[in-house]
């Protein structure tokens, strides 16, 4: 079984995340959406809200599993018998950052990182931009799944 983990804080999940996950569904038998939980980080949305957003967004898709974790992604992968990490790339800066992490992960383990380019229609979306718009009472309806708006 080909299992991949898509790790992130998903604070909140965006249409960019959704695009990457939907395009990965035919490539893997199981996609584990793993919400990283860093107690030192201040999130806009609670862990329960982030789980709810993802559950509602991917309701009825059996290939998707949602979980949380702490610590290194490679340790999570080893513990859960996952051989691949999925990452989305929006721009050259993402590539450089993610490439360094992928190389480090490969040194630490045999886990491969699979990169998917975001689609042109979602390549500019980031959770930090979404949070800033929300803080300033802006309209994010074209940038996030409907469940985030509720």
Active-site pick, 9, 17, 50, 87: 17
Active-site pick, 23, 52, 90, 99: 90
Active-site pick, 9, 50, 87, 127: 127
Residue 127 appears among annotated catalytic residues: yes
Residue 56 appears among annotated catalytic residues: no
Active-site pick, 41, 42, 59, 135: 41
| Dihedral sign for Cα atoms in the order 104, 27, 33, 95 | positive
- Distance CA(70)–CA(36), nearest Å, equals 6
First CA to last CA distance, the chain = 36
Q: Can the peptide bond before residue 103 be classed as cis, meaning omega within 30 degrees of 0?
A: no
The structure tokens listed for 124 are 């500019």
Residues with catalytic function: 17, 41, 90, 127
């Amino acid at each position: 079984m080909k299992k991949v983990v898509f790790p992130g804080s998903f604070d909140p999940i965006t249409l960019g995340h959704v695009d990457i996950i939907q395009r990965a569904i035919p490539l893997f038998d199981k996609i584990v959406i793993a919400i990283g939980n860093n107690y030192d980080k201040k999130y806009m949305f609670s862990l329960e809200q982030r789980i709810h957003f993802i559950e509602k967004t991917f309701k009825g898709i059996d290939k998707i599993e949602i979980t949380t974790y702490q610590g290194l992604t490679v340790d999570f992968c080893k513990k859960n018998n996952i051989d691949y990490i999925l990452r989305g790339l929006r721009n050259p800066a993402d590539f450089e950052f993610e490439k360094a992490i992928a190389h480090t992960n490969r040194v630490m383990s045999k886990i491969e990182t699979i990169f998917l380019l975001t689609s042109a229609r979602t390549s500019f979306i980031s959770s930090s931009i979404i949070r800033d718009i929300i803080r300033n009472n802006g309209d994010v309806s074209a940038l996030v799944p409907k469940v985030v708006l509720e």
